[in-house]
């Protein structure tokens, strides 16, 4: 009996969480998975000298880890962690409530008594409808700041750091010095992640493979019609663009970054979501790749076979799956197909019961493959996420992986291997005539193009891409750095993660963030090329809309425009939009507006801008410009400047930049008040008005209210 070669591929990937316009990260998962899983997977591997595996590092993840390691990345929870508890405002507490406890309760919260206590207190605040973490004392907030990161450290990372061991033993009543020690330990651990990968690759313990740069679904970029191979009736997006031109760029940049970070070109490619198809094969030629990988479902569709399994979930005829295949064409890598059942058992099943028994079951199934296979040594690819499953395992998967690796080291019929090593020793004997288009999920692209919301997102992406392309052709002299930055936003938006959360397939508490961030990249592209996006780019795409903290107008207003709240009921019937609303993306570039009130007088739109903690006038310096952009029922732009001086200037530009005179009244004092005549805006009875406010300082965007979308007013049907 020939030994089976078991090839683990641990796929390390997180979405690109950076909002380039704001310069910060909206979610903390790269940072937290770095101190838990990216370092932990290597530390446990180091305990087992004979175990070999492949680790796939997505280039956009590498870029994010590098920014954290260099001290150039800051996410909202990290920003709030660094603040003194007494300095946290209502918006900060909202983020504490939403994200500081966004962890598996059984595995990451309840195992630490003080963290569990804070979690229950936070839940009580939510149940009673109080302010987010409104019952938290300063001591509670400080302990939450520490535990929200401390709980994530991998057990092996925590055990090797004296400061972390001391903090976990202390458990509560942390000091600012304790918090600083924890943050210093975090920086040290993140700084080790990429160098340790490089070291283990140099010594032959691991192979590091890559993925297209921003994790796009490469076959959809190459040819969107390829989705119809598995879904013949799926509609196509309304707008299209030549995304194929970008597919090679994602690969080129992935290879460049890999070589720069690890010193050698990658020899293996895990296409994003295991997505493959004939249209992408020309892009793989001449890159020195030895292998690519995808799912067994693709083999079934490519070769027209049915991989049957028995009651123990083992393949009845395993030789067909457990071998590499030659792809149709010359100078192409081999393709290997993962064992779907074994991969999912690790990812989704074994944590539900006795984890050590699960490890034993896994090895038994691999040894059963050795008993059933014939001929030369067979390859069993087990490919799955290398971070997300461990959120559900005890101690970040440490007991399971220790049991698994120890049992594999003792097995006489199983050896672990790096994929490139196996393919080099055992070149493909079989050849495919075609490679079916599909992914590792149901063998199709349904997740990313199968729902109307997905197709809406593709259409917006296509429209923004065409706008950038048109500006590039129209103005060849455009600053190349600006143009490069605009294209970068397009490439980021081509990533698979945005489409993963659109539609009904998947959902999370942060759906609205992915919706906002996807559109933020497209809006940023328009801004960089100096164009205004169509109003549809400002509206949430689908289910992901989370209403901010606002109230609708309740009646007509009678306002005295004098820059002051003349009497208490002057704005009582107005709608109110409070910045942020406590969500995780509440943090915006620092701007003067803390609250916007709005409504209708008999013949005018009325707006009032308030600043936090004092008068707004001192914050509206000479170089500050406030704009009100109307997007419906007709486009118009109201520009206000010199607001701190005795004679503020304003102008209203209609469609095509046409100047409209005498449109409004404006005054600045403790608040900014203005009214704009409805007839100057072309508003009629029963029209819906859409608008948003922008603040610029020295020509640089400073704030947008609301941060996404637009506020709406409807004029009465009659007089």
* Last residue of one domain, picked from the residues 538, 561, 577: 538
The answer as to whether 101 is a domain residue is no
649 band by pLDDT with thresholds 50, 70 and 90: confident
**Per-residue confidence (pLDDT) for residue 545, from 0 to 100:** 47
Q: 58-69: per-residue pLDDT in tens?
A: 999 999 999 999
Answer yes or no: is pLDDT of 650 > 80: no
Last residue of a domain, one of 538, 568, 591: 538
**Most confident among 15-29, 57-71, 544-558, 700-714 (mean pLDDT):** 57-71
Which token pair is 293? 């990988």
At 583, the pLDDT band (50, 70, 90 cuts) reads very low
**pLDDT(615) > 90:** no
Total domains in the fold of the chain: 3
Top mean-pLDDT range of 410-419, 604-613, 703-712:
410-419
Say if residue 582's pLDDT is above 50. Answer: no
pLDDT digits (tens, 9 = 90+) for 122-138: 998 887 878 899 999 99
Dump the DSSP string for 241-309: --THHHHHHHHHHHHHHHHHHHSS--SEE--GGG-B-GGGGGGGTTS---EEEEEHHHHHHHHT----B
User: Residue 336 forms beta bridges with which residues?
Assistant: 293
Q: Mark whether 556 and 505 lie in a shared domain.
A: no
Does 112 fall in a domain? Answer: no
Work out the average pLDDT over 169-177. 98
584 pLDDT higher than 60 = no
3-state DSSP call for residue 219?
helix
State mean pLDDT over 700-715. 78
Measured distance CA(101)–CA(118) in Å, rounded:
9
Task: Confirm whether 482 is domain-assigned.
Answer: yes
Within-domain flag for 54: no
Q: How far is CA 413 from the centre of its chain?
A: 41
In a shared domain, residues 286 and 323: yes
How much is the pLDDT for 125?
87
- The answer to whether the beta carbons of residues 268 and 207 sit under 8 Å apart is yes
Q: Residues with Cβ < 8 Å from 651, sequence gap 6 or more? A: 638, 639, 659
Is 174 a residue whose pLDDT tops 80?
A: yes
Q: What is the pLDDT of residue 587?
A: 36
Residue 49 lies in a domain: no
State mean pLDDT over 435-460.
Answer: 96
- Tell me which of 631 and 497 has the higher pLDDT: 497
Same domain for 392 and 277? yes
Q: Are residues 560 and 531 in the same domain?
A: no
**Average pLDDT score over the chain:** 91
- Are 26 and 585 contacting, i.e. CB atoms less than 8 angstroms apart? yes
Percentage of the chain modeled with pLDDT above 70: 94
Residue 482's domain comprises 450-538
Residue 134 forms part of a structural domain: no
Instruction: Give the CATH number, domain containing residue 644.
Output: 2.60.40
| Residue 188 in domain | no
Q: Give yes or no: residues 508 and 583 share one domain.
A: no
In a domain, 558, yes or no: yes
358 with 504, same domain: the answer is no
What's the CATH number where 462 sits?
A: 1.20.1430
């Amino acid at each position: 009996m020939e030994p089976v070669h078991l090839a683990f591929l641990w796929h390390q990937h997180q979405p690109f969480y950076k909002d380039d316009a704001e310069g910060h990260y909206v979610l903390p998962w790269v940072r937290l998975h770095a101190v838990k899983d990216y370092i932990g997977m290597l530390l446990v591997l180091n305990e087992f000298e004979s175990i070999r595996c492949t680790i796939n590092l997505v280039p956009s993840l590498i870029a994010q880890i590098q920014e954290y390691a260099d001290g150039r990345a800051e996410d909202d929870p990290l920003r709030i962690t660094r603040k003194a508890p007494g300095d946290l405002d209502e918006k900060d507490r909202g983020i504490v409530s939403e994200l500081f406890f966004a962890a598996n309760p059984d595995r990451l919260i309840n195992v630490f008594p003080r963290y569990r206590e804070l979690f229950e207190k936070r839940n009580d605040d939510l149940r009673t409808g109080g302010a987010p973490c409104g019952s938290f004392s300063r001591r509670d907030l400080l302990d939450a700041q520490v535990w929200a990161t401390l709980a994530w450290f991998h057990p092996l990372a925590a055990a090797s750091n004296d400061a972390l061991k001391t903090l976990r033993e202390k458990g509560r009543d942390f000091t600012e010095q304790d918090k600083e020690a924890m943050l210093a330990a975090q920086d040290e651990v993140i700084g080790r992640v990429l160098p340790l990968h490089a070291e283990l690759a140099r010594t032959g313990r691991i192979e590091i493979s890559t993925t297209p740069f921003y994790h796009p679904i490469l076959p959809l970029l190459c040819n969107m019609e390829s989705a119809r191979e598995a879904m013949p009736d799926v509609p196509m997006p309304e707008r299209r663009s030549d995304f194929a031109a970008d597919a090679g760029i994602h690969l080129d940049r992935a290879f460049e970054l890999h070589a720069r970070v690890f010193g050698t070109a990658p020899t293996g490619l895990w296409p994003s979501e295991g997505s493959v198809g004939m249209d992408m094969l020309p892009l793989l030629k001449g890159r020195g790749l030895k292998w690519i990988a995808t799912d067994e479902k693709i083999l079934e569709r490519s070769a027209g076979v049915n991989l049957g399994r028995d009651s123990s979930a083992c393949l009845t005829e395993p030789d067909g799956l457990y071998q590499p295949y030659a792809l149709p064409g010359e100078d192409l890598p081999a393709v290997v197909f993962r064992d779907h059942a074994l991969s999912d058992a690790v990812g989704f099943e074994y944590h539900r019961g006795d984890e050590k028994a699960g490890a034993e079951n896994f090895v038994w199934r691999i040894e059963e493959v050795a008993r059933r296979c014939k001929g030369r040594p067979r390859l069993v690819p087990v490919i799955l996420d290398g971070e997300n499953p461990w959120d559900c395992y005890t101690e970040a998967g440490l007991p399971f992986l220790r049991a698994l690796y120890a049992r594999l080291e003792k097995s006489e019929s199983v050896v672990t291997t790096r994929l490139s090593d196996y393919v080099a020793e055992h070149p493909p004997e079989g050849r495919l005539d075609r490679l079916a288009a599909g992914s590792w999920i149901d063998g199709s692209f349904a997740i990313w193009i199968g729902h109307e919301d997905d197709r809406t997102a593709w259409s917006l992406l296509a429209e923004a891409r065409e706008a950038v392309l048109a500006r590039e052709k129209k103005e060849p002299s455009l600053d190349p750095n600006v143009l490069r930055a605009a294209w970068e936003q397009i490439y980021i938006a081509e990533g698979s993660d945005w489409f993963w959360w659109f539609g009904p397939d998947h959902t999370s508490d942060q759906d609205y963030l992915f919706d906002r961030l996807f559109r933020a990249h497209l809006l940023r592209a328009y801004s960089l090329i100096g164009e205004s996006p169509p109003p549809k780019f400002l509206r949430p795409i689908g289910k992901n809309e989370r209403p901010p903290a606002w109230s609708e107008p309740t009646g007509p207003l009678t306002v005295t425009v004098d820059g002051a709240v003349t009497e208490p009921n002057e704005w009582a019937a107005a709608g109110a939009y409070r910045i942020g609303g406590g969500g995780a993306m509440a943090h915006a570039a620092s701007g003067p507006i803390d609250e916007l009130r709005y409504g209708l007088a008999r013949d005018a739109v009325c707006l009032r801008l308030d600043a936090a903690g004092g008068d707004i006038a001192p914050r509206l310096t000479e170089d500050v410009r406030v704009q009100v952009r109307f997007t419906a029922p007709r486009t118009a732009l109201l520009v206000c400047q010199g607001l701190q001086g005795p004679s503020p200037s304003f102008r209203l530009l209609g469609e095509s930049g046409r100047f409209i005179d005498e449109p409004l009244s404006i005054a600045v004092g403790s608040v900014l008040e203005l009214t704009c005549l409805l007839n100057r805006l072309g508003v009629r009875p029963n029209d819906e008005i859409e608008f948003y406010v922008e603040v610029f300082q020295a020509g640089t965007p400073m704030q947008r209210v609301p941060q996404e979308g637009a506020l709406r007013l409807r004029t009465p049907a009659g007089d």
